[in-house]
């Protein structure tokens, strides 16, 4: 038995309880978690914004040590440090064939499987495939990637979502060029990773926007050259900070209709707006036909940073070893499993960066 944070039903409080995991069968890997990040997507799963089968063990951003492997697993072995990959690509669907592995049609099929059982025999599902809110987990072999050399195992958990998403938003989706101006909406874990990535890309003016003035120090440490407290005049303030034109690139990390609209309004004519935040179906964003023509802007969604984890992790490791990417700077709270509900409340209140469950 291992301890885990279980979501018994949509909208219900998490329960910290013992669960029984199976031994890893063919093509499976058992991992002892070192750390797991608390992501906004976990909150979205718990409140029903995103749907998964329940009851479930949540948590999708994690890293740990391989305990055992099943038959046929050769790319990792017991004792290896690994990053969990919650959206593994199948390699054979239409999108994988196009090289768009982040859009794999089969990436989340594992979420409907039976992952573990509770002490009373209740069957549990694995949230977003990897069930990282637990002392140990058993996952498909393509859900683990070796931790690159020189990356501390605990910090490596952040590579599994926040950093891949933020880095990919800048380098793969928006394709920020040296000297361009960037505005980032939302200074949580993903927003902080996005700011660091904009700095790595050589962006000129880097503006952070958040509802909380207390996040200015975090934002500037991550690379922001300017900080704006979100208000009805945010777009006007961004234009003022960018020579009256608007930012070349806006990255929205919140997932709210009003914020997406403001990000669009903050972008210059011909600029690019990338939406990373995951909003609900009730969040409707509207544009009129004339403005779409006149402004010539590009609005795009961004899934998992449009990243290929197998290719991007070594690149990110190079930035970490060179001191350009500071994983520890994304973390504002190190907690136990019991601290996840409070981390959710802080997220709702707009407090802090990434909370990291350390085992």
Give 334's strand partners: 356
Q: What is the mean pLDDT of each run of 10 residues along the chain (359 residues)?
A: 96 95 97 96 90 93 98 97 96 96 94 93 95 98 95 96 97 98 97 98 98 96 98 98 98 96 98 95 94 97 96 96 96 97 93 95
Query: Which pLDDT does position 123 carry in this prediction?
Result: 96
Query: Which pLDDT does position 51 carry in this prediction?
Result: 85
Query: Which pLDDT does position 188 carry in this prediction?
Result: 95
Closest CA to 99 of 298, 311, 277: 311
Calculate the dihedral angle through the C-alpha atoms of 335, 76, 137, 134, rounding to the nearest 10 degrees: -10
Residue with tokens 């403001």: 262
- Residues in Cβ contact with 170 at an 8 Å cutoff, skipping those fewer than 6 apart: 176, 182, 194, 197, 198, 200, 201, 249, 251
Phi and psi dihedrals of 182, rounded to 5?
-135, 135
With a threshold of 0.85, does the pTM exceed it?
A: yes
Q: What distance in Å separates the CA atoms of residue 143 and residue 153, rounded to the nearest whole number? A: 16
Query: Which pLDDT does position 59 carry in this prediction?
Result: 96
Query: Which pLDDT does position 239 carry in this prediction?
Result: 98
Q: What distance in Å separates the CA atoms of residue 232 and residue 262, rounded to the nearest whole number? A: 9
* Contact (CB, 8 A) for 267 and 245: no
Residue with tokens 């900070």: 241
DSSP alpha helix (H) spans, 31-78: 40-47
DSSP strands (E only) in 23-76:
28-38, 56-57, 61-69
Query: Which pLDDT does position 242 carry in this prediction?
Result: 98
Burial of 329 (0-12, 13-18, 19+ CB in 10 A): middle
């Amino acid at each position: 038995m291992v301890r885990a944070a279980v979501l018994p039903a949509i909208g219900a409080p998490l329960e910290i309880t013992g669960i029984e995991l199976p031994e890893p069968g063919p093509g499976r890997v058992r991992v002892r978690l070192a750390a797991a990040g608390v992501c906004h997507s976990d909150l979205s799963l718990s409140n029903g914004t995103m749907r998964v089968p329940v009851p479930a063990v949540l948590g999708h951003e994690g890293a740990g040590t391989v305990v055992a492997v099943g038959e046929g697993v050769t790319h990792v072995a017991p004792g290896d440090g690994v990053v969990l990959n919650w959206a593994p690509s199948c390699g054979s669907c239409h999108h994988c064939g196009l090289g768009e592995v982040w859009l794999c049609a089969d990436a989340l099929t594992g979420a409907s499987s039976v992952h573990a059982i509770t002490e009373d025999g209740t069957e549990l599902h694995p949230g977003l495939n990897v069930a990282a809110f637990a002392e140990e987990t058993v996952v498909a072999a393509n859900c683990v990637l070796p931790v690159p050399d020189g990356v501390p195992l605990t910090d490596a958990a952040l590579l599994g979502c926040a950093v891949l998403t933020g880095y990919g938003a800048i380098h793969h989706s928006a394709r920020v060029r040296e000297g361009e101006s960037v505005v980032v909406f939302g200074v949580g874990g993903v927003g902080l990773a996005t700011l660091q990535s904009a700095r790595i890309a050589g962006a000129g003016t880097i503006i952070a926007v958040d509802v909380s003035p207390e996040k200015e120090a975090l934002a500037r440490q991550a690379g922001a050259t300017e900080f704006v407290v979100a208000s009805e005049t945010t777009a006007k303030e961004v234009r003022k900070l960018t020579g009256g034109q608007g930012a070349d690139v806006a990255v929205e990390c919140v997932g709210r209709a009003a914020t997406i609209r403001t990000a669009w309004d903050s972008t210059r004519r011909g600029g690019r707006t990338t939406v990373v935040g995951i909003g609900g179906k009730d969040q409707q964003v509207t544009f009129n036909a004339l403005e779409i023509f006149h402004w010539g802007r590009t609005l795009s969604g961004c899934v998992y940073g449009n990243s290929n984890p197998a290719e991007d992790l070594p690149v990110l490791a190079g930035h970490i070893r060179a001191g350009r990417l500071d994983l520890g700077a994304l973390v504002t709270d190190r907690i136990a499993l019991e601290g996840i509900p409070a981390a959710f409340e802080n997220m709702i209140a707009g407090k802090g960066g990434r909370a990291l469950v350390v085992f």
